[in-house]
Amino acid sequence: MLQKSFDNSIEQKWQKRWLEENTYAFRPEEGKPLYTLDTPPPFTSGELHMGHVLSYAYFDFVARYKRMNGFSVFYPQGWDTQGFPTEVKVEKKYGRLPPPEFRKKCMEWTEDMIAKMRESMVGMGYSPDWGYQYRTMDPEYHKTVQLSLLQMHKKGMVYRAKHPVYWCTRCRSALAKTDTEDSERSTMLNYFIFDGPDGEPLEIATTRPELMPACAAVMFHPEDERYRHLAGRKIKTALGKEVPAIADKDVLKDFGTGLLMVCTFGDKMDVIWAYRHKLPVIEAIGTDGRMKNTELFDGMKVEEAKKAIIGMLREKGKLVKQEQLQQAVKLHDRCKHPVEFAPSYQWFADITGHREEIKRLAEQVEWVPSFGIHYLYDWADSVEWDWVISRQRVFGTPIPFYICDKCNSVRPCDEDELPFSPERAKAHTCGCGGKMRPETDVCDCWVDSSITPLVIADWPEMKNPELYPSSLRPQGVEIVRTWAFYTIYRSGLALTGKPPWKTILLNGNVLAPDGRKMSKSLGNVIQPAELLREYQADALRQWAAMSGAMAKDRPFSYEDIKFAKTFLNKWWNGARFIESSLSGYDAGKKPKLGKVDRWMLEQMNVAIGQATEAMERYEFHAAVKLLQSFFWHDVCDDYLEYVKYRIYGEGAEGRHAAQHVLHTILYNFTKMMAPFTPHISEEIYSEMFGGKEGPSVHLAAWPRPGERHHGAHLEVEQLRLLVSAARQHKAACKLSQATWLSSASITLPKPLHSELVEEFRNIARIKEVELKEGEFAVDFSKSVPIEAQG
């Protein structure tokens, strides 16, 4: 029997039991078609945030729906473990340690985080098969990543080169463009005097005077009348260094004085210009963020050097003026420190040579919603340099190569060395006779995560070819340019030649209720754990389903989750009523259905059809809303009220028919809600329908419409109008709806079937009904309330 109310203890009971009974195990031996989810491995921060809650709920709906539709669902759980944030935290706790020890601490820390996150995920009722987990820090995972790099190297898609790259001076590592973010800041634009070829003063504006020692050229726009005459001549910087004056179309005439200095390397344009005009490279900033090769300022930090040179040049009268300037600077997204450019040897993956192929492959994937592919097009078209895949860090997948000390050539590690680690490296000799040292750099974590569809398909063996491509890749829209892009590139283009998934399903971000981004500094962060305590997992999951259209950011809504909780209460009580109504129900007996019963069953058939369509299109909000409305309004407000007189009354046939319909409706409804609200569905299934289709509602079949019952609809709609009229009359007279009325006179265009007249009398509680033909009207003028009876 259902207990009085639905509470957290019921949810926890089922969470425990599902784990014990391995309800969601992937069972390919069953011989059903497979459905594979290439699920996002969360970064192991230890905390599940609202974005996780939303996106994981999304594909949990899919997984549960597909299971009920006869698929063997492969729903693995991965963990993205390596990278800067963990290193930062571990370093803070333990300080800098030798790499092997440091890595060990990182792994221990990560284990703890995984345990915490797993608990939260269980608490949300997610249904991965916990027997299939992968962690990017595991030796097996390293092996697969490294093998993928060796194969790409063989195809010429991975190479080592010296190139200016984004560099974080705090983390002392190369970064990919996707590791950076833009930030506005206010800075000074400084005007200095350089000396022209004929000794005339030339004003030049710069925000980075500290790089003047690395100045390689002075540039102007080719059509700038003021400076045309300088072309090809020498100019002396304020520090007295001679550099060429060069015309270039990318110089803005009206910024500053129209004259600029190119320093190697102050920003991205400097890099472009230096390559375009083959300028000499002066490394003025070291990898530690301190100045070098400047004579005067070596060893200073960038900001110190800036102050020093401004002070010096002001004294010499070379500083003309300073202006405030709003400027966008790139920051390392993980540590928020400004990013510099540093020329250094790094490993690259060739993406600029493959943008069109990547786009073509992406087009073979179904994008839901379809506009999502534009994010990938934009990225593919705008990316300017190859992907820097190496990081000068410790907690990461080692890059499996050797480098010759003498000639700088590279040699892949042997396959029997995998998983490769520089600490266990072999002694190799280069063709030139030099000694080869193992690479100590590690991979960018997107290198790890861009092969998840291969990892879960057990690449390279791929014993079960049905596992690749994955059926579905669910992910956030904000990581199309990283996770989706790199996965299509690596798993797809480079390693298999096939798109990694059939469908990609995009979800948006959860904003704070005020519509702004959630952030600690704004204090508007909502913790899932708190919501779980107050509203329960099944309510939070319904909120996720109701959160509107896909790939769209959506503020968190307390209204929605409150409604979801209220709905659970409504459903629970409706189920309790039905449970008590079913006492003595003989399911084996064929019911004699009345028009109202047939109307209800057909409403259910329609709801099943619509919900199924919505689920097939991943329109969870549509499915949930229509199911909620169906149960609350069609079932509870109308049908339940319409059959109460039969349930409590004497007539065995009418009672049995109502029981049959109530039983059928609740059963199908409970199953259709199961993907969204697994706990309450399981409890109702277990208490009221125990084992009808196996041990769990989640292994039962998704409902199909039953026998159709057309024809009753229009008549019953008339009945509903009549009942509504009676309800209005009672409300207007301040009478309880339970009051019996002596009489009513109803006028209808067409005569109403006597069965429905009787229904009307019993439902609306009216003793005598007089029928007339004509325009619709209900007249209670002669009606008198009667003392409530039996």
Partner RNA sequence: GGGCCCGUAGUCGAAUGGUAAGACGCUACCCUGACAUGGUAGAGAUCGAGGGUUCGAUUCCCUUCGGGCCCACCA
Shortest spacing between CB 784 and RNA, in angstroms: 17
Shortest spacing between CB 148 and RNA, in angstroms: 25
SS3 414: coil
User: Among residues 137 and 611, whose Cβ is nearest to RNA?
Assistant: 611
- Which residue reads 């270039």 in tokens? 248
- Which residue reads 């229009």 in tokens? 714
Shortest spacing between CB 640 and RNA, in angstroms: 4
Q: Which residues pair with 166 in a beta bridge?
A: 175, 341
Q: Which residues pair with 164 in a beta bridge?
A: 343
726: left (phi over 0), alpha (psi -120 to 50) or beta: alpha
Shortest spacing between CB 40 and RNA, in angstroms: 18
User: Among residues 81 and 509, whose Cβ is nearest to RNA?
Assistant: 509
User: Among residues 288 and 559, whose Cβ is nearest to RNA?
Assistant: 559
User: Among residues 610 and 747, whose Cβ is nearest to RNA?
Assistant: 610
Omega of the bond leading into 675 within 30 degrees of 0 (cis) = no
DSSP 434: P
SS (H, E, C) 65-92: HHHHCCCEEECCEEEECCCHHHHHHHHH
User: Among residues 115 and 525, whose Cβ is nearest to RNA?
Assistant: 525
User: Among residues 44 and 507, whose Cβ is nearest to RNA?
Assistant: 507
Q: Which residues pair with 234 in a beta bridge?
A: 244
Cα distance between residue 100 and residue 430, in whole Å: 27
Shortest spacing between CB 430 and RNA, in angstroms: 37
User: Among residues 181 and 768, whose Cβ is nearest to RNA?
Assistant: 181
- Helical spans, DSSP H, in 124-161: 139-154
CA nearest to 53, candidates 628, 447, 554, 504: 554
User: Among residues 246 and 259, whose Cβ is nearest to RNA?
Assistant: 259
User: Among residues 94 and 371, whose Cβ is nearest to RNA?
Assistant: 371
Shortest spacing between CB 182 and RNA, in angstroms: 6
Omega of the bond leading into 139 within 30 degrees of 0 (cis) = no
Shortest spacing between CB 562 and RNA, in angstroms: 7
SS3 621: helix
Which residues, in sequence order, are CB contacts of 324 under 8 Å at separation 6+? 186, 187, 188, 189
SS (H, E, C) 246-291: EECCCCCCCCCCCEEEEECCCCHHHHHHHHHCCCCCCCCECCCCEE
Shortest spacing between CB 266 and RNA, in angstroms: 6
CA nearest to 605, candidates 575, 634, 637, 584: 634
User: Among residues 111 and 203, whose Cβ is nearest to RNA?
Assistant: 203
Cα distance between residue 333 and residue 320, in whole Å: 36
Shortest spacing between CB 21 and RNA, in angstroms: 29
Cα distance between residue 315 and residue 305, in whole Å: 15
Phi, psi at 479, each rounded to 5°: -115, 25
User: Among residues 408 and 737, whose Cβ is nearest to RNA?
Assistant: 737
User: Among residues 209 and 422, whose Cβ is nearest to RNA?
Assistant: 209
The C-alpha R_g of the chain, in whole angstroms, comes to: 35
User: Among residues 534 and 768, whose Cβ is nearest to RNA?
Assistant: 534
Shortest spacing between CB 186 and RNA, in angstroms: 12
Shortest spacing between CB 244 and RNA, in angstroms: 16
Number of CB atoms found within 10 A of residue 573's CB: 15
User: Among residues 205 and 504, whose Cβ is nearest to RNA?
Assistant: 205
Omega of the bond leading into 460 within 30 degrees of 0 (cis) = yes
Shortest spacing between CB 196 and RNA, in angstroms: 17
- Take residue 310 and report the two structure tokens written for it: 């401004």
For the chain, first and last CA: distance in Å? 27
- Take residue 750 and report the two structure tokens written for it: 């067409």
Cα distance between residue 686 and residue 18, in whole Å: 13
Shortest spacing between CB 149 and RNA, in angstroms: 25
Which residues, in sequence order, are CB contacts of 668 under 8 Å at separation 6+? 604, 608, 703
CA nearest to 194, candidates 208, 215, 224: 215
Q: Are β-strands 470-476 and 501-507 bridged in parallel, bridged antiparallel, or unpaired?
A: parallel
Shortest spacing between CB 309 and RNA, in angstroms: 13
Q: Are β-strands 554-555 and 501-507 bridged in parallel, bridged antiparallel, or unpaired?
A: unpaired
